[in-house]
Amino acid sequence: MQNWDDLRVFLAVARAEGLTGAGAQLKLDPATVGRRVRRLEEAVGAVLFVKSPQGYALTEAGRRLAARAEEAESALARAGEELSGAPDSLTGTIRIGAPDGISNYLLPQVCAAICDANPGLEVQIVAQPRLFNLSRREADMAVTVSPPTGGRLIVEKMTDYHLHLAASTDYLARHPPITRLEDLRHHRLIGYIPDMIFDKELDYLKEMKADRVTLSSNSFSVQFNFVRQGAGVAIVHDFAIPAAGGRVRRILADRLSLRRSFHLVRHGDEARSGRLERFANLLSAGISREVARLEALAGVMGGEAFARSG
């Protein structure tokens, strides 16, 4: 069997599904990556990839080798943890993939606090409104709203959170009162681009008794900035409202209240990684506390049932 370095290159190509992406990750030129793959294929006596216009796809032999290589990768990571000499401290780099709502309004302060207590730790937050492929190691862990059901994954519920209709005080002062859900038809609505909703739990049109929105984005942060600028009414995470400094208020909180959940997802091969387990526990506890704090603050700032403008 070839050395670990060759297997590392092989895994990078498998996850990136191509030489260019793997080379960028490994800081090697694609030609070098290709030579390393061919060398490994010669060593194991099997073709590991099928090349197509879509990229590099694993053969059956490649899939078997990838499973063994990932086991070796996890074992090396665990050995590094055990030999680090600091079992109670988190070190190294951990990458989190998450929707932009939690990435902008919860993860920064929670991860900063974890890093304060663990000076050797580096945290990377990949904020994108989509699902992450942990098998391709796009991230060490991911936050989702709907828990995934397929694959070898560890899924843990972090916390519930709440959403309400909201608008800026400026918008409410300039437009007709909103005293019932039916009044929304006379107001500009803000929401997700319908064909870019990546999770069914983010489709709020039915709850708003609406069939379309006027201003839309695949990013919650863009939607919230529309609201902050007085552009209209949207379904907003309660935990984001305090960021507007009192300029955004909940509307009809007694008529429309949504509850969703955040789930933390890790690859099944990481089940024995004490380092990721410790970080996951700290992250879940921190997110739960921060959601509770910010939602309580949103209730104070936005009123329990703000139903009218003015």
* Domain-embedded: residue 283: yes
**Which ranges of the chain would DSSP assign to H, the alpha helix?**
4-16, 19-26, 30-44, 60-83, 100-105, 107-117, 169-174, 220-228, 274-302
Domain-located, residue 136 = yes
Please state, in angstroms and as integers, the Cα–Cα distance from residue 214 to each residue in 186, 189, 192, 197, 244, following that order. Answer: 12, 6, 10, 16, 22
Identify the domain boundary among 83, 102, 132: 83
What's 231's domain CATH number? 3.40.190.290
Supply the pLDDT for residue 309: 39
> pLDDT, tens digit, for every residue of 110-142?
999 999 999 989 999 998 755 555 455 678 899
177 and 255 fall within a common domain: yes
What CATH code is carried by the domain that includes residue 132?
3.40.190.10
Cα distance between residue 265 and residue 151, in whole Å = 11
Query: Does 89 map to a domain?
Result: no
Q: Residues 183, 184, 190, CA angle at the centre, nearest 5°?
A: 165
Show which of 50, 83, 116 is a domain's final residue.
83
Supply the pLDDT for residue 110: 97
Do 195 and 256 fall within a single domain?
yes
Task: Determine the pLDDT at residue 154.
Answer: 87
CATH of the domain at 11: 1.10.10.10
Give a yes or no: residue 88 inside a domain: no
Q: Are residues 193 and 124 part of one domain?
A: no
pLDDT at residue 133, as a whole number: 57
**Cα distance between residue 225 and residue 242, in whole Å:** 13
In a domain, 239, yes or no: yes
Largest CA distance in the chain: 76
* Judgement on whether residues 186 and 250 belong to the same structural domain of the protein: yes
pTM for this model (two decimals): 0.71
**Tokens representing residue 70 in the block:** 């990932």
pLDDT of the residue at 83: 57
Structurally, the chain folds into a number of domains equal to: 3
Supply the pLDDT for residue 253: 93
310 assigned to some structural domain:
no
Same domain as 141, residue 20: no
The verdict on 243 and 266 lying in the same domain is no
105 and 173 co-located in one domain: no
Residues 152 and 165 in one domain: no
Enumerate residue ranges in the chain where pLDDT < 70: 1-2, 74-75, 77-88, 129-137, 269-273, 301-310
> What is the per-residue pLDDT for 260?
95
| Residues 165 and 252 both lie in one domain | yes
Q: Which helix H or strand E contains 126, and what residues bound it?
A: strand 121-127
Residues 276 and 226 in one domain: no
In a domain, residue 149? The reply is: yes
Domain encompassing residue 71: 4-83
User: Is the domain of 147 the same as that of 176?
Assistant: no
Is residue 230 domain-resident?
yes
